[in-house]
């Protein structure tokens, strides 16, 4: 199964694609979609949508996982981040894909084993789990972590269904 993980942001949206073969994880691609902060928000959202739609078409994932919006101290920042997240969800749903959502706590727990792990710990575990030659850029590493979280969650759900 191919999974696209997305770490949404209006300035930088990270994406990471992995393949799951049994209990093995294989890195396919990762990167970032960058927008100009000087552009109006609607134009930035269009860039995110267009780039994600192209990535979805190129890599044909079977599942998409997105990090949920955290509760920010600044309500305006949380609202703006919600726009980017909604744009990412729309790009996937428009192609008929299911979208799975995970909190930062769930992602960190699935990848590091501790829900309050530091960003550097998450990046190092992503590198180790996917056998990457170097640590991925921060937003791309976060997106890969979201994809890994979905892979682990999916495996757990299958085990529960199978009575293990």
CA distance 98 to 30: 20
Is 139 among the residues known to form the active site?
yes
> For the chain, how many helices (H) and strands (E)?
5, 5
Inter-axis angle of helices 138-161 and 104-112, nearest 10: 80
Which of 19, 21, 58, 67 is catalytic? The answer is 67
Is 21 among the residues known to form the active site?
no
Is 7 among the residues known to form the active site?
yes
DSSP code, position 16: E
CA distance 43 to 46: 5
Residues classed as catalytic: 7, 67, 139
């Amino acid at each position: 199964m191919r999974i696209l993980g997305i770490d949404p942001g209006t300035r930088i949206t990270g994406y990471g694609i992995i393949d799951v073969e049994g209990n093995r994880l294989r890195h396919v691609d990762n990167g970032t979609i960058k927008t100009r902060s000087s552009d109006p928000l609607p134009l930035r959202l269009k860039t995110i949508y267009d780039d994600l739609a192209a990535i979805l078409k190129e890599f044909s994932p079977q599942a998409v996982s997105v990090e949920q919006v955290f509760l920010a101290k600044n309500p305006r920042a949380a609202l703006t981040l919600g726009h980017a997240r909604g744009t990412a969800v729309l790009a996937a749903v428009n192609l008929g894909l299911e979208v799975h959502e995970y909190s930062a706590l769930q992602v960190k727990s699935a990848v590091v084993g501790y829900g309050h792990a530091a960003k550097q710990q998450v990046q190092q575990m992503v590198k180790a789990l996917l056998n990457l030659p170097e640590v991925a850029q921060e937003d791309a590493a976060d997106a890969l972590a979201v994809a890994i979280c979905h892979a682990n969650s999916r495996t757990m759900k299958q085990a529960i269904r199978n009575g293990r």
